[in-house]
Structure 1
């Protein structure tokens, strides 16, 4: 019988541009092994101060719309008190207040219980940190 709690760390390279990275297939791959057909909860956590997790539609422009909205809400300019790093980097440290660094989602019969158009995504606006970790934990 599989463990009631199982965890794995993904290593994601986001490159040198702002990105929304779809993690849904990575989550499903993890659950095939960790959940083994059981019900439970999947927690996705980004242990970084400048990235977040969003559950959104991808592939139809919503990921680009999210980045555009973040640019409107959090412009990359000199208004930020946090000033080290690339110009406007202070905005990246405010991002997790808007796009939280975690999500907890239901797992039914070993599969994510997402809506038709929902995907689990890493949101990374920090162009200075190209290597990210994402921790997946199943409790069931």
Structure 2
């Protein structure tokens, strides 16, 4: 089966602020094109040292709560040994240890199988790099 694995890069502009960017629609669009009703797995990966992928509820304050927790755990101050970029940028390089740079999700009948309130998001606290790439990869039979 030649199309059992398909991958694509999606460009995302996060701007100059910390953000939780919803990727769910981009994932759904990709799957409509490539899964064509099949079951499989979607892998979402950010090839950046300062960003992560999470599955959370959005637009209810949870995305802001996530950023607040990250501020508490990883303050943007001068404690970090990694010191180039904006003040506190070293914490951005620790972020992927807490918010992994990938997620693998089930695809059933060609659609992402998320819970009622779940969304796939890019978590980006790095204000110095507003342009991101996200690799979407579908493996299905």
- Place the TM-score, normalised by the shorter chain, in its bin: over 0.9
Instruction: Say yes or no: does 1:36 pair with 2:32.
Output: no
RMSD, aligned α-carbons: 0.9
Query: C-alpha deviations, 1:17-62, integer Å up to 9, x for none?
Result: 0000000010000000110000000000000000000000000000
| Secondary structure at the counterpart of residue 67 of structure 1 | helix
Query: C-alpha separation between the residues in 2 aligned to 1:73 and 1:82?
Result: 16
| Aligned-residue offset at 1:63 | 0.2
When normalised by structure 2's length, the TM-score is 0.98
| Aligned-residue offset at 1:97 | 0.2
| Aligned-residue offset at 1:104 | 0.2
**Residue of structure 2 equivalent to 1:131:** 131
Q: Which runs of 5+ in 1 are unaligned?
A: none
What is the number of residues matched between the two proteins? 140
Structure 1 residue ranges, 4+ long, deviating more than 3 angstroms after superposition: none
**Residue of structure 2 equivalent to 1:115:** 115
| Aligned-residue offset at 1:69 | 0.3
